[in-house]
Structure 1
Amino acid sequence: MEQSKHSEEEILKLGKKLIKELELVYTGNTLARWLAHYLAELISNIDKCKSKEEKSKLQKECCDIILEIWEKRERVPIEKPTEKLKPIIDVISLLKKNEHPFIRHRFLDKRNGLKKSNSSWLSFLEIVKNNSERIYRKSLISMISEELLEKDNEWIGKHGSFLSDDEKSVVEYLDSIKEITISFHDDPKKEPSENEKIVNLFKELEEQIDEQKKELLKLKKLMLKKH
């Protein structure tokens, strides 16, 4: 088994992580229980070796087995990195099929020489673009829990070299658009309740939509005056 990309220390660390993940699904899962005990015994035997030669040989064999299990992780009864993020990945993949709707187009640049009569439309389009992007990001990040994102970030932080670029990029992207939670209390250190978070989320979404509608009505009134 090829180990050139990872040190034995990294592989053994991954093995210990797999044991913990397998232990989470012990109940009623014979395979998970057997694999966890098997890996734990392999790693434990390394420390029991009396000679350096024996330890080195056993450590290499253990690393080979851990890598083999990892390569076949789709059949291993653990929660895989980004597994619960699949609905998010599907949304992002869908958007990638066409040009991203929130890329800034050159025609939205007011310095590009467009006639002044178009300035009202440009202002409206700018608000639509900015607000739609905020609505998209807030909605996307609201589909997942902070705990789930933290767990996948932990996978990246401790075992990132074993993950695919796609697995890492989706977590990094979601982490980058994660917005700071606004406190509803006089004490900013006090965590708001889940109900308060939901109320605040929809309040912000409604404000973004209302702003777009307000600008639309303003533009409509202006266009009607001209004609």
Structure 2
Amino acid sequence: MEQLKHSEEEILKLGKKLIAELELVYTVNTLARWMGHYLVELMNNIDKCESKQEKSELQKECCNVILEIWEKRERIPIEKPTEKLKPIIDVLSLLKKNEHPFIRHRFLGNNNGLRNKNSNWLSFLEIVKNNSERIYRKSIISMISEELLEKDKEWIEKHGSFLSDDEKSVVEYLDSIKEITISFSNDSEKEITENEKIENLFIDLEEQLDEQKEELLRLKKQVLNNL
């Protein structure tokens, strides 16, 4: 049934990817070494076939083996797609249980009557929302490496039909906020070190929090003066 969802070409391509992943742990894992050799042998036998019928039969056999391995991928010694994103997936899942805190509410921009009456509070809320959103994006992206995200993007680009919607959506979401985060911070084309990146990250986070505190103190002063 599973094979009906994918062409033999897609399945064999997945097989090559599994071989490449298994090769990464050949030296330390006997099971990985055995499975890798087994898949390589199956796929090499296809190329050696002299008749179309024999080749077709071997391809089907090989595809069935690949799909069986893929269905049991949690047990095989490879790094699975989005496996290292688990801590972030847990954070996103927790946020899903409640309304997202960074949805732009209409009253922040469209209700002039409300704005005229409560402009000080609304200005404060806008700063809190915008700064918190930026802090949230930068913090999430800082939890993962660019290499890790690129590897999971490659899984989606080349073997996306074998992945779940949740696996694809979390990578696409992280990639989208990564682009936003880079666009905010890419003010200079000068190459910076990893230490400088981390230092700049915390400087930026501190500035966002300081701005919120300054706005809060300003709001407090205005409200008390109006009593």
Using structure 2 for the length normalisation, give the TM-score: 0.94
- Partner residue of 1:180? 182
Q: Does 1:20 align with 2:52?
A: no
Matched letter for residue 76 of structure 1: I
Amino acid at match of 2:102: F
Give runs of aligned pairs for residues 101-112 of structure 1, distance below 5 A.
101-111=101-111
Deviation larger for 126-135 or 112-121: 112-121
CA apart distance, 1:121: 0.2
Letter of the 1:198 partner, please give it.
I
Deviation at 1:30, TM superposition (A): 1.0
Structure 1: which 5+ runs fail to align?
none
Counterpart check, 1:199 vs 2:221: no
Alignment of 1:48-87 (within 5 A): 48-87=48-87
**Residue identity opposite 2:167 in structure 1:** E
For 2:224, the equivalent position in structure 1 comes to: 224
**Residue 182 of structure 2 aligns to which amino acid in structure 1?**
I
Which residue in 2 is equivalent to 1:148? 148
- Give, in whole Å, the separation in 2 of the partners of 1:170 and 1:120: 37
Q: Which has the higher helix share?
A: 2
The answer to whether 1:166 aligns with 2:143 is: no
CA offset at residue 184 of structure 1?
A: 8.2
1:110 to 1:221, Cα distance in 2 relative to 1, 3 A: farther
Greater displacement, 156-165 / 102-111: 102-111
SS of 2:6's partner is coil
Q: Which residue does 1:215 correspond to in 2? A: 215
CA RMSD of aligned residues (A): 1.5
Q: Match of 1:9, SS?
A: helix
Map of 1:81-100 to 2, 5 A cutoff?
81-100=81-100
CA distance in 2, matches of 1:139, 1:115: 31
Distance in 2, matches of 1:114 and 1:164, equals 44
Residue 3 of structure 2: SS of its match in structure 1? coil
**Cα distance in structure 1, aligned partners of 2:38 and 2:137:** 43
Separation in 1, partners of 2:14, 2:95: 33
Question: 1:43 is matched with which residue?
Answer: 43
**How far 1:192 moved relative to its partner?**
1.1
AA aligned to 2:75 is R
Q: Are the structure 2 counterparts of residues 100 and 46 from structure 1 closer, same or farther at C-alpha, using a change threshold of 3 Å?
A: same
Other-structure match for 1:125: 125
Number of residues of Structure 1 aligned to a counterpart in Structure 2: 224
The unaligned stretches of length 5 or more in structure 2 are: none
Call closer, same or farther: CA 1:115–1:156 in 2, change over 3 Å: closer
1:114 Cα deviation from its structure 2 partner: 1.5
Q: In structure 2, what residue type is equivalent to 1:109?
A: G
Q: What are the Cα deviations for residues 1-25 of structure 1, in whole angstroms up to 9, with x where unaligned?
A: 5312111111101000000101111
Contact kept, 8 Å, 1:183 with 1:191, in 2: the verdict is no
Instruction: Output the CA distance in 2 between the equivalents of 1:26 and 1:106.
Output: 56
Match of 1:31 in 2: 31
